Amino acid sequence: MEQPLAPFSVCNLAAVNLAEMADRETKTVNFEKLKETVRTGVRMQDNVIDATPYFLEENKKQALGERRVGLGVMGLADLLIYCEKEYGSPEGNELVDQVFETIATTAYKASVELAKEKGSFPFLEGETEEETNRLRRAFIETGYMKKMPEDVREAILETGIRNSHLLTVAPTGSTGTMVGVSTGLEPYFSFTYYRSGRLGKFIEVKADIVKEYLDRHPDADPNHLPEWFVTAMSLSPEAHADVQCVIQRWIDSSISKTVNAPRGYTVEQVEKVYERLYKGGAKGGTVYVDGSRDSQVLTLKAEENSFDEQEETKAKEHENHVVLVDTIQEIRSTNVTIGSEVGNTCPVCRKGTVEEMGGCNTCTNCGAQLKCGL
C-alpha cells in the first residue's frame, strides 16, 4: 500500500469491520458501538508495539519512539448497503464523512487518554519543558490536527498523546475476504462470480451480503437488486475519487483505494482523475483502466482476457460477473496452473513460481505477495 514511513519505521495494522456497526433493522449506524470498537482497537494496537519482538535495534528505537499505529476499516460497502445508501452518492458520502469523523476523533481521544495513563510517545517529549511545549504546539498546528475538536488539541498540549499516527486504511484483502465483507474501503467488484467445482466448471456464487438480502426478501429479483448494491465498475471514476477524498480528510496517514475506469479511458481522462484527487486532498491515488494489462485477476467475463471488439461485446453479455483466476486457467486447457498456491505460476507476471516466503505465498520473479497467513 502507499504508506509513507520514516527510515526504520514500522506500523502495525488493524481494521474495524464496519459491516458489524450497522443496525440492520433501523438501517442506521450504531455510532456508540463504533466508538467502543475504535477505543479497543487503539489500545490493542498500542499494546502490540510493546509486545513485538524487534529483530533490528533501529526498528525498535523508531517503533517505541513514535508508537505509530494504523487502525483502518473493512466492510464499508456493506455498511452503506445495510443503511440503504449508494456508495459514491451525495447521501452515501455524507454518511461516510460522519463515520470517519467519528473514527478519527474517537481514536485521538483514546490516544490522549492512553498518554495520561502511560505517557506520550517519546519523540514528542523534549529535554526541557520548553522544548516539549514547542513540540506539542507544532503537533496540534498541523493541517490535519486543526480539524480535531478543541478539547483534544488542548489535552495534547497538556498531557501529550500516546501515538504519533493512528489511522490508515489498508486493503484488507485476505482478512476482509475471510470474514465475508467488502475489503478495505472499496465497493464490491462484483456481487456474482463463478467458481470451479466438482459439479461443473461454472458454479455461480453470490456475495454473502446478496445472499442475506435475498433470504430476507424472497420475492426480490436477484438480477435486479436495489440501487444501493453498487459495484466498482458501475461507479464513475469521479465518484471513486470523491469517496477517497472524503475519507482522506479524517485519515492522518495514507489510504489504499483504486479508482476503476472503463476500457478506452484516455490518458487525458486519467490525468483529470489524478487532478481531482490532488485538489480533493488525497495523499496518493491509483487509477486502473480496465483491460490496460495483458491479463488481470478480476474480470467481468468468463472468457480469457483479450482486447478486440469481439471480446468487448462478449464482456457486455457477462456484465457484473467476475471469474476467479483458477477458473480462467481451467478454460485455457494448458498444463500450467496460474494461481496463488505454492508451485503455481504467478498470476501477475506469468513468469515466476509461487513459493512460501516469510509466511506469504510470493512470486519468485516479481515479488508479488499473493496469499498470506494473516
Q: Going by C-beta distance under 8 Å and a sequence separation of 6 or more, which residues neighbour residue 290?
A: 233, 260, 261, 262, 263, 265, 296, 300
Distance CA 151, CA 149 (A): 5
CA dist 371 and 374 (Å) reads: 9
Q: What is the mean pLDDT of residues 48-56?
A: 96
Please state the pTM of the whole predicted model.
0.79
Residue 296: predicted pLDDT? 54
Q: Has residue 299 got a pLDDT over 60? A: no
Distance, in Å, from the CA atom of 31 to the CA atom of 247, rounded to the nearest integer, reads 17
Residue-wise pLDDT tens digits, 228-244? 999 999 999 999 999 99
What is the distance in angstroms between the CA of the first residue and the CA of the last residue of the chain?
16
pLDDT in tens, 183-227: 999 999 888 866 555 555 556 667 899 999 999 999 999 889 999
Three-state secondary-structure class, residue 345: strand
Residue 56 has pLDDT above 80, yes or no: yes
Predicted confidence band at 352 (pLDDT cuts at 50, 70, 90)? confident
Least confident of 74-78, 234-238, 256-260, 346-350: 346-350
What pLDDT, on a 0 to 100 scale, did the predictor assign at position 336? 63
Cβ atoms of 23 and 84 within 8 Å: the answer is no
Q: CA-to-CA distance for 309 and 313, rounded, in angstroms?
A: 6
pLDDT greater than 80 at residue 134: yes
